[in-house]
Amino acid sequence: MEKVKFLTLCILLLFITGCDGVYNIEIYNDHYMEDITIIEEDRSNWYDKNEYEVTFMDLLEEEYERDNHYYSKLLISEPDKKGLNYKSVFDIETYGSLGIAYRCYEYFRVLSEENVITIMTSDKNACYDDYKWLNNITVNLKTNHKVLDHNADEVDKNTYIWHLTRSNASNKSLSIQLSSNEFVFNYENEKIKKLGLYIGIIAGIGVIIGVIVIVLKLLSKKVNKI
């Protein structure tokens, strides 16, 4: 019951302000990493009560204090914005039952069969019925797994993007199939490549500085001879 209350509150926080919702999920080497930020920049909404007789700050403070061991949370409190950042890492079993996404759909499944991971939803996104403030939802799924099939609206390198609006949310399912044992790139190798690039840049700068020092010394010797 505590988990259900928490997830319901997460969805309410995400959509209470009327801002667009952005849901990021990264799937790397069978790890499912959620990174969700809820931000309210309109000061007038911070302490105004909604139809549930609660304010944005009420929900924010209650959620920050709640003990949810599967999410790490960072409270955002700046002069021009208030909010909360959630981060979590799931395996395939827990993502299908604890991830926030399943609260918006009657049917949300994460299945693994014959080396194929399938993530799919039913057609209707129920959050548009429940939350009048919601305008648009952007879903960004980034992965290093080989993608076998998908119905994303657009693809940006290894990120698959869906755009949900009030006009299409009643008849727009999300679906993607991934290979569980084939990868486009290895996440750890990418880190090594970046480290190698940084080392190369530093080495290049060192060479340039060395050349400049040598040239200056040669010029200095010529001047002294004159």
Q: Are residues 91 and 153 in the same domain?
A: yes
Most confident of 88-97, 164-173, 202-211, 215-224: 164-173
146, containing H or E segment:
strand 145-150
Q: Are residues 178 and 201 in the same domain?
A: no
Q: Are residues 20 and 58 in the same domain?
A: yes
**Does 40 or 142 have the greater pLDDT score?**
142
What's the first-to-final CA gap in the chain, in angstroms? 89
Residue 1 pLDDT exceeds 70? no
What pLDDT shows up at residue 206? 66
**Domain count within the chain:** 2
What pLDDT shows up at residue 119? 92
Q: Are residues 175 and 190 in the same domain?
A: no
Q: Are residues 118 and 204 in the same domain?
A: no
Residue 183 pLDDT exceeds 80? yes
Q: Are residues 181 and 193 in the same domain?
A: no
Lowest-pLDDT choice from 15-19, 36-40, 150-154:
15-19
pTM: 0.66
183, containing H or E segment:
strand 175-183
**Does 128 or 180 have the greater pLDDT score?**
180
23, containing H or E segment:
strand 21-28
Q: Which pLDDT band, with edges at 50, 70 and 90, does 6 fall under?
A: very low
What pLDDT shows up at residue 105? 82
Give the domain extent around 54.
2-185
Residue range 180-206: average pLDDT? Answer: 65
Residue range 31-35: average pLDDT? Answer: 86
Q: Which pLDDT band, with edges at 50, 70 and 90, does 176 fall under?
A: very high
Sheet holding 116-121, edge to edge: 108-113, 116-121, 175-183, 145-150
Q: Which pLDDT band, with edges at 50, 70 and 90, does 11 fall under?
A: very low
Q: Are residues 22 and 105 in the same domain?
A: yes
Q: Are residues 138 and 175 in the same domain?
A: yes
Lowest-pLDDT choice from 97-111, 159-173, 195-209:
195-209
Q: Are residues 179 and 215 in the same domain?
A: no
Q: Are residues 88 and 134 in the same domain?
A: yes
Q: Are residues 108 and 220 in the same domain?
A: no
Q: Are residues 158 and 100 in the same domain?
A: yes
| Angle, helix 2-15 to helix 56-65, in steps of 10 degrees | 140
Q: Which pLDDT band, with edges at 50, 70 and 90, does 214 fall under?
A: confident
Counting residues of the chain whose pLDDT is more than 90, the rounded percentage is: 19
Most confident of 19-28, 99-108, 200-209: 19-28
What pLDDT shows up at residue 203? 63
**Does 30 or 3 have the greater pLDDT score?**
30
**Does 88 or 64 have the greater pLDDT score?**
88
CA–CA gap between residue 149 and residue 188 (Å, rounded): 25
